Amino acid sequence: MGADQEDVDALVASLDLEEIDRNLYRGHPTYWERKRLFGGIVAAQALSAAYRTVDDIQVHSLHSYFLRPGDPSIPVILDVDRIRDGRSFATRRVVARQRGEAIFNLAASFHIVEEGFDHQQVQPITRGPYEFSGPEDFGMSPRDFFPHNWQTRGIPIEIRYDRSPAEWKPGALERQMWFRINGELPNDASVHNIMLTYLSDLALMGTAVSAHAPSFDNLMGASLDHAMWFHRPVKANNWLLYDMKAPSASGARGFNIGHIYEESGSLVASAAQEGLMRPLRRTDTPSAS
């Protein structure tokens, strides 16, 4: 899908932070070319910074706010606050800054592996990834599935939708897609959780948008917050179903929730996001999201 292992490795490298001081890290710009820093990469870098301060323990939830647009041409400074280290849980707060101003705030909780009760809701569809359609099935380029200003290099993500973007009908409050990182990843649970955080921001906000508009071209859009819950271990380079719904839009904000399943039907994670979706006036500039 227009990518090779080099592109996947470059994405992984963008999450390998430089340690400046204790609890202080520098994230270097991603190779993706955008007017604004993609929210998923900032969230992933912040979670990566938090992971650098814990040992042998995995994230189970995160809650975050996008505060200012990020600049992809300069590094992101990530300041980790070690809120608490307990016997079973650890809590971290991360503030991402550029030019001395906070652009993103993350709170993450980590939990040791424990035995306990187990149940989950049933995966809502049974069609696998190859029963969905890729861009080539619609006579499209892989880049047509992504914002027009994202990049000039290969895309290290493979996506298959239940229908083409042109077929999204106003009023539809849900959509599904299969996605994965399109290459090999390190055999490290933290890397896969970080990559899933990155992927989860990819299309969730568009669920509410597509209920009212075919694209972001006629509105001002931006992610406002993002939350995730990690239920079970995941491999981000295996096919994952993203079942997305938009229960509400009001006051120029759209609310979206998503559940992420493995091909086996295992529910591995859930996400929720509210985004700005302000209709444009003639003098406004379209969103870069």
Q: Please name the amino acid found at residue 82.
A: R
Contact 286, 219 (CB under 8 A): yes
Residue for token pair 């300069």: 74
Q: Can you tell me whether residue 120 is helix, strand or coil?
A: coil
> Which residues are annotated as catalytic?
201, 223, 273
Q: Residue 192: is it exposed, middle or buried by C-beta count within 10 angstroms (0-12/13-18/19+)?
A: buried
Contact 286, 276 (CB under 8 A): no
Q: Report DSSP state, residue 171.
A: T
Both tokens of 226, joined, read 């993002």
H helix count then E strand count, the chain: 4, 12
Cite the DSSP H helix spans in the chain. Answer: 5-14, 39-51, 189-200, 205-210
Query: Rounded CA gap, 89 and 224, in Å?
Result: 27
Query: Rounded CA gap, 195 and 129, in Å?
Result: 19
Q: How far apart are the first and last CA of the chain?
A: 22
Q: In what order do the strands lie in the sheet with 76-85?
A: 18-21, 24-27, 76-85, 89-98, 101-111, 58-66, 219-230, 267-279, 253-262, 240-250, 174-181, 157-161
**Type and span of the H or E element at 94:** strand 89-98
